[in-house]
Chains A and B, each alone.
Chain A
Amino acid sequence: MAIETILLDHGAGGRASHELVKSVFAGRFANPLLDPMDDAAVLLPPPGRLAISTDSFVVDPIIFPGGDIGSLAVHGTVNDVAMRGAKPLWLTAGFVLEEGLPVALLTQVVESMAKAASEAGVLIVAGDTKVVGRGQADKLFINTTGVGVLPEGLTIGAHLAAPGDAVLVSGTMGDHGTTIMAAREGLNLDAPLRSDSAALNGLTAAVLASCPGVHVLRDPTRGGLATTLNEIAQTSSVSMELDEMAIPLDPAVRGVCELLGLDPLYLANEGKLICIVEGGQARAVLAALQAHPLGRSAAIIGQVGTEHPGRVWINTSVGGRRILDMLSGEPLPRIC
């Protein structure tokens, strides 16, 4: 009989656990590295250095316009590995399930995860499932760890922004955070909001193939563009000056944020990147971004300077100028 609901037995390691793994996970994640189902997967690293990153996903609601916790768990970790310039290869996946979770919902998430991994060209090579009592977790949490390979000679990092560099983004800002918030609050806004959740390794590969002068790649997730740029400015001891008019915003996101008094520059993105590159290569990077389906609305939004290291300035669309500070407090709970 097919399992309908997750019970504590499914996490106990016995027959029920095996049944769950076999019926929900094994077939969907199948690949030669996972299939032996041994205690650890054995990997043969290709030449180069390894990049590794881990992230836990607790988004609420778990299914939202444009994605779900499964696809997000793949995209988030793939993107973190890709932002160091690495090619993501393998993922592990740890699940914490709440007793009572409908297995149909879990299956939907696992299928979405398998599809996202396949599209991103990564293999899920190890996994784990635990079950906690009702109320001890909210439906389903996922942790993913990603490993990728980084070619020799390539160094990309938040400490490398230099005066004279140009600051680019690959598209509209705040789509994911705004979508999740509207879905969480059940806001019936009749606005075409959609999370931008996507794997960016194809986009980073295209940029790195066309431009050797890339200094920083970052995906502005929690805290949004404003917080990520402040982190880069502080780590690199540089200032930045942005042009508010140049920052791409989806009209629906802008409208919803205006209505709710939120600033999209502080809201999360899950399928956009920031690229900081030698000024002379800004046009080439822009062209490479715009040629990719995930970078069509990319833009050059500012430049790196030296005045007040650690600060980010923004020239406002009405002709004023102000600081663009880091996020303080919580604008939104559990967006990823």
Chain B
Amino acid sequence: MKHVDEFRDPELTKGLARAIAQASTKPARFMELCGTHTMAIARHGLSRMLPPTVEMVSGPGCPVCVTATEEIDRAVKLARTPGVTVATFGDLVRVPGSHSSLAKERAAGSRVKVIYSALDALELALADPKAQVVFLGIGFETTAPTVAAAVLMAKQKGVANFSVLAAHKLLPPALAALLSGPDLGLNGFLCPGHVTTVIGTAPYEDVAKVHGLACVVSGFEPADVLGAVLMLVKQVEEGRAAVEIQYARGVSPQGNPQARALMEQVFTPVDAPWRGLGWIPMSGLGFNPAFAEFDARARFDLEVPPAADHPGCRCGDVLRGLVRPPQCKLFGQVCTPESPLGPCMVSMEGTCAAWYKYRRD
């Protein structure tokens, strides 16, 4: 398969693993900032190819996992609203809120539709003018421009029965919050290829210059990840901290100004709650006044009581790389992919789910 096989060539990947082992003399701890990296590392068994000196930890990079419980409660409230169809990415359906989930609401008769893009949700609204279709907008800078495009199209077409519950997250403020918190003992970041295609590399410059941490933007195939880890290891060994791009076939340092412009046309940064990290200033997206009519929060009563997370759930600490999943008492005992208590176990890209699925040993 073109564009896949060349990055899964066992000779290439084994060669990279050997090069990492040869280059690495000092202990080094790197955080991956993207759920797709977490999955790729687990699915291909890459951690077992790394020398004992190199440790990978997962950060707050899974969009479902960082979605605050109160946002799920709001989605549940929406699903219970007569006449509303909730359109959502599949991963979100099983995430438990304080008292229910979209899956339970669907079983009880609510209209919850799994779709693959915001434009699918807009088409649902066009096809069923009597339903109020609400799209649950989650995800980072990679998905937000596509949601902005759907909102823009809805405005152009005058679609009155389409709105978005915006719960998007922005990566740079979260990175800043992570670095201002307790010392995580990190030497660098495996930076997300997809998000960086949009935001460019500028947001990482301070991480390297001010905090002295290596940053390498990585693709998602096994050879990409191993290649990026090798670049991180070399920086640590050489005592450097710089922003480098491994994923040159997908990322340019400038990112994608058009996608950012689209996002900025429709949305504006607002303070946002993150699961595990709390409220982070200017880390979410609200609607610009010109598009306020598409804001589900304005259209429906979405007040919810303060959310209650499961006591004992350590998803917050897992998301900050403070503990590994097996260190949570709930992990694999009462919290499993079949009956997840925290979001890190629900999402396919969640650290706990990946650990449970591929690394229980």
Contacts and interface: CB of A to CB of B under 8 A. Distances in A.
Given A317-B8, A318-B10, A322-B44, 15 more contacts: A263-B43, A308-B361, A311-B361, A315-B45, A316-B45, A317-B10, A317-B44, A318-B9, A318-B14, A319-B10, A320-B46, A322-B43, A325-B356, A328-B337, A328-B357
Interface in B17-53: 17, 42-49
Interface string A320-336: 11110100110000000
B99 interface: no
Contact of B94 (A254, A318, A320, A329): A329
List of 8 A-B pairs having minimum Cβ-Cβ separation, nearest first = A320-B45, A328-B337, A322-B45, A318-B13, A318-B222, A322-B358, A319-B14, A316-B45
A319 to B, nearest CB: 5
A317 B223 CA distance: 12
A320 B356 contact: no
Contacts, number: 67
B359 interface: yes
A251 interface: yes
12 contacts: A251-B1, A258-B4, A314-B45, A316-B44, A318-B13, A318-B45, A320-B48, A320-B222, A322-B358, A323-B361, A328-B337, A329-B94
B360 A323 contact: yes
A285 B48 CA distance: 33
Contacts of A255: 1
A245 B8 CA distance: 11
B338 interface: yes
Interface residues of A, number: 22
Given A251-B1, A329-B94, A322 B359 contact: yes
A321 B48 contact: yes
A319 B17 contact: yes
A99 to B, nearest CB: 22
Interface of A: 245, 251, 254-255, 258, 261, 263, 308, 311, 314-323, 325, 328-329
B46 A254 contact: no
Interface of B: 1, 4, 8-10, 13-14, 17, 42-49, 94, 222-223, 336-338, 348, 356-361
Contacts of B17: 319
Contacts of A311: 361
B7 to A, nearest CB: 9
Contacts of A315: 45
A322 B48 contact: yes
Given A258-B1, A316-B45, A318-B222, A323 B358 contact: yes
B73 to A, nearest CB: 22
Contacts of B47: 320
Nearest to B41: A320
Contacts of B358: 322-323, 325
Contacts of B222: 316, 318, 320
B116 to A, nearest CB: 9
Contacts of A308: 361
A320 B48 CA distance: 6
Given A318-B8, A319-B17, A320-B46, A328 B361 contact: no
A251 B360 CA distance: 30
Contacts of A261: 348
B357 A323 contact: yes
A314 B361 CA distance: 13
Given A322-B42, A322-B358, A254 B1 contact: yes
Contacts of B336: 328
B1 A319 contact: no
B336 to A, nearest CB: 8
Contacts of B359: 322-323
